[in-house]
Structure formats: structure tokens, C-alpha cells
Chain A
Amino acid sequence: MANGNGASLSPPQLEIDSVSLDFGGVRALSNVCFNIYPGTIQAIIGPNGAGKTSLLNCISGLYRPQHGAIRFEGRNIIGMAPHAIARLGIARSFQNIELFRHMTVLDNLMLGRHIHMRSGVLSGGLYWGRAQREEIAHREVVEQVIDLLEIQSIRKKTVGTLPYGLQKRVELGRALAMSPRLLLLDEPMAGMNSEEKEDMARFILDVNEERGTTIVLIEHDMGVVMDISDRVAVLEFGQLIADGTPEEVRTDPKVIDAYLGREHAIRQG
């Protein structure tokens, strides 16, 4: 929030440059162009099937766009493997929770530290010494994430047994454990009640403010989006129809027509 206007002065952290993505005949993204600035909260909104998730999948390397470039801190990442992109400092959560269900919360978060750790099969098997020191050091980082997200009491619980809202929180925790510079969140509040949503919004703001992490947030709840984002990009049928501050987007006739108008109509009708 705080750095909303100043942000556009610094060079973009992520440039989405004329990205087009086809699935057979379906055009999921067409010539999408916008920039994401360091330290901001960038929302991406749009109706179902607009291509929001597809765009995140392109950024994290799961989909490969046919055209365009995606530059992270100046470097084109299209064609890089997902694990290599993660190493650059890009973390994400998924629309449908993709946790390691049979593992504990702790193990899930420790896996978030994978890219920052070194020990392999041999030193892990021998354990005492190098691997143990590493485990302890990174456990401390993970404990900070646990404190931030207030999940101390479920540390040792198997993730699959947790209620939906907590699983969403653990998934955010796993991404945070990666200490990313860019955090992509795909509908982190979907299916939550208003109290859970408030908590989640608070965590997102905390992370953004305390750690300076850039956040890309896909969210359907307009209240939350307008409240916490610095900038909002609007997708419809794979096309970017608006990109600006919440104010600009709220008053953009195209957006009102295509998206917000419909929402309003539904809400009032």
C-alpha cells in the first residue's frame, strides 16, 4: 500500500511482454502486456476462465507460452524449468491446494527451504554433523514463518487431516519458507469465511510490509482486492483490458462493463 505510487518509478521486477498462450484451439492468453513493480501488491482479476491461473503457470514455468517474453529482474524465464525458476526467488500457491498431504506441516515448510539447503543423499544419511546443523538452522527460519502465520499448534499435524482454511495457510507458509522475492498467490482466500479472509489479508499485508516481498494476488473478492492492492490488472477472455491503481480500474468503463458492472448487477439484483 505504502509504496503504491512510488513503485512505478523503479524498474519493473517482472515484465510480462506480449505473452500469448494457446491450448490447441483455445487461446488462454492473447498478447498480454503489463509490469509488476518490486514491493507492490499486484492483483489480477477477471471472470472465470479469463486466463489468470494460466498466466501464473506461465510465470512459474508450468506452461510455456507460444509468444512473448516474461522477464524476471531483467532475465527472460520462458523455457526455464519450474525448479530453476523457483531458485530465482519466485514462489507460489495453487488455486486447488497442492500440499504434500502425507507429510507434517513442519516437513511441508522445511521443503520450502529446499532451494536454500545443500545436503544430499550421502550427508543426509550420515546426518550427524553437516546435515543436522543445516536442519537446525533452517528449522529456525521455518519457525519464524510458523509464528507469523500463527500455526504453532499444528506444526506436527499431517497436512491432509487439517481443515481447508488451515491448509490454505500452510500452503502460504510453504511459499513463504522459500523466502521469495516474488510471491504468486492463486485465490488464497477462495472458500474461506470472512474471518479467515481477514486473517489471510492481514498475513499478506504483513509479508509485503515486513519482508518487502512483491505479491501477485489472484482474487475474486473485490472488497479485498480494492482494499489491499497497489495495482490491479484485469483479464477477460485472455486479454488484458485494464491495468492501473484500484481507483483507475474501478472507474474504467471497460472494466465496469465487462466485469465489475456484472458483479454489481448480480449483487443488486
Chain B
Amino acid sequence: MQSGTFHTSYASDMALRPYWPQRVRIAIVLIAVLIFPWFADRYWLNLANTIAIAAIGAIGLNILVGYTGQISIGHGGFLAVGAYTAGLLAVRLDMPMWITIPVASLFTALVGAFFGLPSARLKGLYLAIATLASQEIIIWLLTHGKLLGIGESLSLPPATNNLFGVPLNALGNNDFVFYWITVGFLALTVIFVSNLFRSRAGRAFVAIRDQDIAAQVIGVDIFRYKLLAFATSSFFAGLAGALTAHYRGIISWERFTIDTSILYLAMIIIGGLGSVSGSIYGAAFMVLLPAMLANLARSVSGVVPDINSYLPFIQQGAFGLAIILFLIFEPEGIVKMWRNVKDYFRLWPFSY
């Protein structure tokens, strides 16, 4: 709670970021985001793009799990639907990315709503198992996709990476150009989802999570809204998948297995359930953790020569350890830790 700010109208009282310290922080973040790509090398640009795409997917999952309270272990499957839809449209129909990305996102939203149908009857763990089934069905279709004629992997024609006819490689190197695309989509996602949760439909999602009986009694058609939550969540999974397809240029089903679903769940748990910024922190954490461990391994490989052969185990162990430590010490995630830091400085220098 901030004090000393008087709102003169409901519109300004309902603004997303009404207080000046928040606006200053946003300005700083914006400036940093705008100048970063001019100084970063391709390694860091690649990490940033990976984080931005993961953050879009994590925000999508958070809509369903964190905000609406419907546990899903099927997010990897929806990412796959987005990636393969964009990929197939690009490969088969030579469609450019500015068409494949929105089409793939919308199609994934439909698929998500379909696999959300069991939520009419199932809750909690039972629904989680049903979403696990949807994950397995999607991967099975992709690996046995004679109908779709998909091999082990799918390579997208580079020419489809163009924006309204302008080929991306004319604009700069792939990582640099995609930085603007992925970060741009992330910004749109953040704005859209923040708006959603300060208006009618978003509140209905949260109502279902908090008290589904009361939600019905105030007039929320909870089945309809659960399907909408699945659709909206999957839309962003589809967007993340489609961006991955065009950015990497090659996709294979192995990137979208249950491991990926669990990785995304870990992102939102570590970042903060029911929080847009938490989804971004969680995505950054989960992308940076293995990357930084790999850097560390490289720098000590002179002293510990076989470290690189242990690296995958160290990365997996650190992943598990991070989840356990967060669940024990800060179950509300990074977003809560950050709030504590802000609260500390708000009272500074009178903090104790």
C-alpha cells in the first residue's frame, strides 16, 4: 500500500501503474530493454530471445494455473501445436511468419479449449492427469503423424521469415532481429494479460480459482470461463511455440515433451503463481540457471577436467534443488522476494 496519492477519478484509480515509483521503474526497464541489443553479443541475444519466448509461454500457463486454478501438465503439448502449426504452414504453404504466427496462436487456442473440456467434470489432480493425457495425445500424433507427414523434425524455409514481404535477414543478424520480435510480442502479451485481469473476464477467472461455488452464484458460467481460460492460455502457448519455430528454423517433438510441461510449471511456481511479472522472472531464472552453470563449468574446466561430462546432472540437480528451496522458503516466488525488497526501500532510511 502506498499512501499520499489521491485519485481524482475512477479511471486514474484503476490505472495499471498509478504510482510514480512504479512508473520510474518501468521507464528504467524500458530503456534497458531498448539499449540491450546494441551492446549484447549473439550469445546474450540468444538468451534474451529464449527468455522472452519462455516468458510468453509462462504467462500463458499462469493464466490457467495461477489465475484460474486449473492445474495443467499439458502446456508442452500446446507449445508443440503452435510450433508445428506455424511450421507446417510455412513448409507446406510457404506462408510468411506474419501469417503463420497469428494463425498458429488462434488454432492452438481452439485445441486448448478442446482439451479443456474435461474441466467440466474434473478438478485438481484429476484434471491434471487429464491434461497429461492431452500432452501425450499431442506428442503421439506428432510422432505417428503419417497423416501430417512429419518426419523426426521440420525445417522451415528461411524465406518465410519475412515481415510483410521484407526478409528478416535484410534487417540484421537473426538473433538481433528476433530480439525485437520476441520482446515486442512479450510486451504485447504483458499489456494484454495485465488488462485482462483488471476487467470482467479476468476477474471471473480468479473467482473460479478462489471460490467456484460463489462464482456460480454471482452468475459466472464456470464451465464457459474454464474453457475460455484454457483457450487464452493455449493462445499464448501457441504464440510461444510459433515464435520458437521461426526463430530456431527447425523443430522436433523432443522439445515439447512432458519435461517441457514441468519446466513451465516450475517457471510459474518459482516466479510467482497468478503474477504476470512473476512469469517473466521465473522464465528468466529457468533459462539462465542452466546457462550460467554451463559458463561456470567452462571456467573451472581447467581445474576440474571432467566437469563437462557431469554438467547435465549438475543442471538437473540445480533445477530440482531450486524448486525445492523455493517451495520451502518462498512459496510465493521471486515476485514476492522482489516485493519485499521494494517494501524495504520504500521505508528507507527508516527501515530496520
Contacts and interface: CB of A to CB of B under 8 A. Distances in A.
Contacts of A62: 213, 216-217
Contact of B216 (A81, A110, A126): A81
A92 B218 CA distance: 8
A81 B211 CA distance: 17
A136 B10 contact: yes
A121 interface: yes
A92 B215 CA distance: 12
A127 B11 CA distance: 12
A188 interface: no
A119 B200 contact: yes
B301 to A, nearest CB: 47
Contacts of A99: 210-211, 214
B218 A120 contact: no
Contacts of B202: 121, 124
A51 B265 CA distance: 44
Interface size class of B (residues with CB under 8 A): 20 to 34
B116 to A, nearest CB: 14
Contact of A107 (B1, B203, B231, B232): B203
B170 interface: no
Contact of A121 (B10, B220, B228): B228
A125 interface: yes
A86 B195 contact: no
Contacts of B201: 119-121, 124
Interface string A124-146: 11110001101110011000000
A103 B218 CA distance: 15
A77 interface: no
A210 B3 CA distance: 35
Nearest to A155: B13
Contact of A111 (B14, B198, B203): B203
A27 interface: no
B213 A98 contact: yes
Q: Is the interface of B mostly helix, strand, loop or mixed?
A: helix
B1 A156 contact: yes
Interface in B225-249: 228, 231-232
A100 interface: yes
Contact of B193 (A60, A83, A125): A125
A117 interface: yes
**Best-surrounded residue of B1, B220, B222 (most CB of chain A within 10 A):** B220
B210 A124 contact: no
Interface string A83-127: 100110001101000111111000100111111011111011111
Contacts of A178: 218-219
B11 A136 contact: yes
Given A125-B193, A136-B10, A82 B200 contact: no
Contacts of A91: 217-218
A238 to B, nearest CB: 22
A201 to B, nearest CB: 23
Given A100-B207, A111-B203, A83 B220 contact: yes
Interface of A: 60-62, 81-83, 86-87, 91-92, 94, 98-103, 107, 110-115, 117-121, 123-127, 131-132, 134-136, 139-140, 156, 174-175, 178
Interface of B: 1, 10-11, 14, 192-193, 195-196, 198-204, 206-207, 210-211, 213-222, 228, 231-232, 274
Given A114-B204, A139-B10, 5 more contacts: A83-B217, A86-B217, A114-B219, A126-B192, A178-B219
